[in-house]
């Protein structure tokens, strides 16, 4: 998967789960958008992995959720990198 597609997926999923006001910068931790607790992080990972409209499946790819080591301090750029490195064609 390329970075442009990963960025689209991350933007859609973070906006869907979090409270995003304004631009999202690569250096921004996901906690900046209210994605801080285990429940919110699990919701984000679930959307990335399973959502047919905005997640990895929307790009005809798949990703093992165990490969996405997401925490509240994960930056937007790190999240994109995880998706690029761990996504495989479906």
Beta-carbon contacts of residue 13 (< 8 Å; ≥ 6 apart): 44, 47, 48, 51, 54, 55
User: Whole-angstrom Cα distance, residue 68 to residue 47?
Assistant: 12
Maximum distance among all Cα pairs of the chain, rounded to whole angstroms: 33
pLDDT score of 10: 97
| Confidence (pLDDT) at 60 | 98
Q: Is residue 21 scored above 90 in pLDDT?
A: no
Q: Average of pLDDT values for 17-44?
A: 95
Instruction: Please report where in the chains the tokens 């080591």 appear, as a residue.
Output: 69
Q: Whole domain around residue 78: which residue ranges?
A: 3-89
For residue 68, what pLDDT is reported? Answer: 97
What is the average per-residue pLDDT within 42-56? 98
3-class SS at 61?
Answer: strand
Residue 22 has pLDDT above 90, yes or no: no
Structural domain total, the chain = 1
Predicted pLDDT of residue 42? 98
How many other CB atoms are there within 10 angstroms of residue 74's CB atom?
A: 19
């Amino acid at each position: 998967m390329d970075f442009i597609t990963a960025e689209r997926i991350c933007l859609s999923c973070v906006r869907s789960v979090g409270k995003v006001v304004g631009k999202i910068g690569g250096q921004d931790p996901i906690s900046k958008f209210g994605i801080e607790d285990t429940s919110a992080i699990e919701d984000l990972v679930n959307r990335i992995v399973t959502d047919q409209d905005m997640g990895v499946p929307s790009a005809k790819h798949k990703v093992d959720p165990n490969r996405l080591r997401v925490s509240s301090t994960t930056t937007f750029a790190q999240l994109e990198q995880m998706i690029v490195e761990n996504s495989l064609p479906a």
